[in-house]
Structure formats: structure tokens, C-alpha cells
Amino acid sequence: MSIRVAVAQFGATTDKEANLAKVHALIERAAGDGLDLVVLPENAMYSNPDATADISPAAESLDGPFAAAVRDAAKRHGIAVVAGMTEKLPDNPRCSNTVLASDAGGELIGVYRKVHLYDAFGYKESARIQPAEFRPLTFPLGGLTFGVMTCYDLRFPEIARLLVDAGANAIVVPAAWAVGPAKEDHWVTLARARAIENTSYMIMAGQSGPACTGQSMIIDPMGTVVASAGESEGLASSSLLAERVDQVRAKNPSLSNRRFTIAGTLT
């Protein structure tokens, strides 16, 4: 059994209406290409590169306009969608960096709230975002089980391993990987490492420039990049096969050979 998956790449701004128009156009294009799942970047709803800006006025609830529009587009075009948004939290001045997943019927599969915040390389995401407790989001589709994490989580191998322990064999990573010295190399190296060590697909959907590196890609369980969007706005797609995961895990049984497990609670 195979499933056709796309990573959708664009550079979001503070213009929520323009961002939503691009999100809808990319969903429509992916569906028109006959794909089953499209993954959009982190902060696809709203992105403000000014680390000192108050983003709370732009935040929305999970029943707000952006989430509703994504679910409506998924239903209208008959395609599963994963997309990042800024979620308003009750009684909290900070927001959540949230990823929502919708099935092809427009039903909310679940949400993932970012655990590891980007307090690195001169940036302090925690000034505006509330870190979440880890709750794995996984969902079955096309014979595979997809797990979700966000951007900076990629630098922490425990997150990917916890998702694999929860049954995932394909990991979805919406991101806004900031530009900087060696950053693009880190993005590719870490993503390939997570694929290799977990013998799992990695579906990496990043924002494009000028603030982010782009280079959205799909990586197979052996660590080979099988599709890439380069640096420009657009889609990259590939067929994913559950049989390919089984084949790689038989050849490289590192998961079954390991001598320890990861606890389900992170600190």
C-alpha cells in the first residue's frame, strides 16, 4: 500500500489573509495532483520575525477562522492536511505554537503543541510561546502511522523516538527553520539522522526565505532525500510505502537491537 504525500513550502508573514490564501492554494494544488496528505509549515497562519513583537492579538483558538478554513479546504478537496498556527491559550499571556491535523473529510484528527522552544542562536521563542507538555500526536493513513513534532524539536532525538515508540513510522515536521551560518546544513543533517536512527520516513515542511531556509523535503527510512522543494515557494511530493519501512527495518534492525527505552515524560 502506498500514500502520496507533499510538503508545501511558502514564507508566511503578518498578513493572515494572504497567508491563508497561500495555504488554500497549496492545498488545492496538492489535491489536484492526486495527493493524499499535504504538510504545511510551522506558523503557516501568522509569522512575525520580530522576536520582541506581541503576537497574542493574532492568535486564534482551534475553532477560530484559520483552523476552520484549513478543515474546510481539506474537506472540499478531499485531502488530509497538517498545518502550523499560533493558538490562543485561556488565561495565559503567552500563546501555543500549535500544529493541527485534519483528515480528508475535514474532521480534526488532533493537535500537537510544541515542546522544545527555540531559545537559541540569539532568539527566544519562550518570551512569546508557552512550552507544552509532551503528548504524542499520531494518526494512521495509507498503511503508515504518522507522528508529529515541530521545528526545533528536531534537535532532540527523544521526541522522534517517543513518536516511534507510540507507533509512528513516518514523522511529520512543520518548521520555520531560521536562516544563519550552517543552519541549512543542520536542517538536512538532523532530518536525515532522525530518519536513519528511527528507520522512518521524515516529512519536512519548512517556510521559505528570506527569514527561513526552505529546503522542505521527504526522506526515506534509509536516510535518502527522495523529494525536495529547494528554496522557492511550492510543493515537493513522493509516494510512501509501508513495505519500504519493513524492508529497511529488516536490514537495519536498530530499533529492536536497542538496550533501553525512553520514558514518556520529558522535563
CB 102 within 8 A of CB 137: no
Instruction: State the Cα–Cα distance between residues 53 and 13, nearest whole angstrom.
Output: 13
The catalytically annotated residue of 42, 60, 87, 125 is 42
DSSP assignment string, 160-191: HHHHHHTT-SEEEEEE--B--TTHHHHHHHHH
Residue in 16, 22, 95, 114 annotated catalytic: 114
Check the CA dihedral 212-160-188-2 and report its sign: negative
Q: State the catalytic residue, choosing from 16, 22, 151, 212.
A: 151
- 124 noted as active-site residue: no
36-54 average pLDDT score: 94
Pairing of strands 96-102, 108-113: antiparallel
Expressed in angstroms, the distance from the first to the final Cα of the chain is 38
Strand pairing class (108-113; 138-141): unpaired
Q: Is the pLDDT of residue 266 over 90?
A: no
Give catalytic status of residue 95 as yes or no.
Answer: no
pLDDT attached to residue 267: 58
The answer to whether residue 42 is catalytic is yes
- pLDDT tens, residue by residue, 124-178: 999 999 999 999 999 999 999 999 999 999 999 999 999 999 999 999 999 999 9
**What pLDDT does 63 receive?**
95
Instruction: Tell me the pTM.
Output: 0.96
* Alpha-carbon dihedral 20, 74, 76, 24, rounded to 10 degrees: 20
